[in-house]
Amino acid sequence: MAVPVRAYLSIGEVLSKLRIDFSDITISKIRFLESEGLIEPQRTPSGYRKFTNSDLERLRFVLLAQRDQYLPLRVIKENLDALDRGLIPASTIGGVATPRLATQNGEIAGLASDEQDLRLTRNEILSAAGISDEQLTEIESYGLITIRGRHYDADALTIAKTIVSISAFGIGARHLRAFKTAADREIGLVEQVTTPIRSQKGSEAKAKADEVEKEIASLSIKLHASLVRAGLHRSK
């Protein structure tokens, strides 16, 4: 009978794995890094630490940054926070972290597909989108971008970049309110379809509603683009 693999490691097992590359690592050092908030292992009911592979990789990141880059814990913690928010840590102390980008044939294509959990501070979205604080404030005033909690997400960054590009043609944020109005109406139509599905009982209801939502959204974007293109062709 096969023995099930545990989904966590004890602090002793973590120590053994880390000592392969970091001979001076100790249990006291691991506990210290935990007390500094660099890792947050779970606990068993009896109080023993449960480390995941993610915890182990975070420890490796911290120890490498200390050994090879001589970075202080404050900066390492900032870098870990950037990674947690879907960013590439700043290359210099005091720099601004940047979103990870996908590439196609060596060309930058946009945000990577795993960037749905991207979380940007105000300074980070200003830097990534190439806009000023005044421009972002104006965009927000027209409801084109909203901040979620304390961070901006990947959609906010895409909207900001698109508005910057379209503004080169003399189209300002105030002219784009019609896009927001149209989008709100489309969202309402999608929700008319998906809300009854989400209210159904069963574990598959949410997954089905999410899939239907994505499909209708994709068709809506395609229809919108086709209608704009057709209208422009008629005006020629």
Q: Give the Cα separation of 105 and 82 in Å (integer).
A: 27
Class of domain 11-88: mainly alpha
Q: Please state, as a whole number, how many other Cβ atoms lie within 10 Å of the Cβ of residue 124.
A: 22
The per-residue pLDDT for 116 is: 55
Structural domain boundaries of the chain?
A: 11-88, 115-171, 175-236
Q: Do domains 11-88 and 115-171 have the same CATH topology?
A: yes
The per-residue pLDDT for 106 is: 39
- Return the CATH architecture of domain 115-171: Orthogonal Bundle (1.10)
Question: Are the CB atoms for 118 and 157 separated by under 8 Å?
Answer: yes
Residues 6+ apart with CB under 8 A from 58: 38, 39, 80
Phi, psi of 28 (to 5 degrees): -60, -40
Question: Are the CB atoms for 199 and 206 separated by under 8 Å?
Answer: no
pTM of the model: 0.63
Nearest Cα to 85, choosing from 128, 119, 37, 122?
119
The per-residue pLDDT for 84 is: 87
Nearest Cα to 25, choosing from 51, 50, 59, 2?
59
List per-residue pLDDT tens for the chain, 236 residues long: 444 456 789 999 999 999 999 999 999 999 999 999 999 999 999 989 999 999 999 999 999 999 988 889 999 999 998 888 888 888 777 777 788 754 444 343 444 444 557 889 999 999 989 999 999 999 999 999 989 888 999 899 999 999 999 988 998 888 888 888 888 888 898 999 999 998 998 878 888 998 999 899 889 888 988 988 898 888 66
What 60-68 contacts at long range (C-beta under 8 Å, 24+ apart), as own/partner pairs, is 60/18, 60/21, 62/33, 62/38, 63/18, 63/21, 63/22, 63/25, 67/22
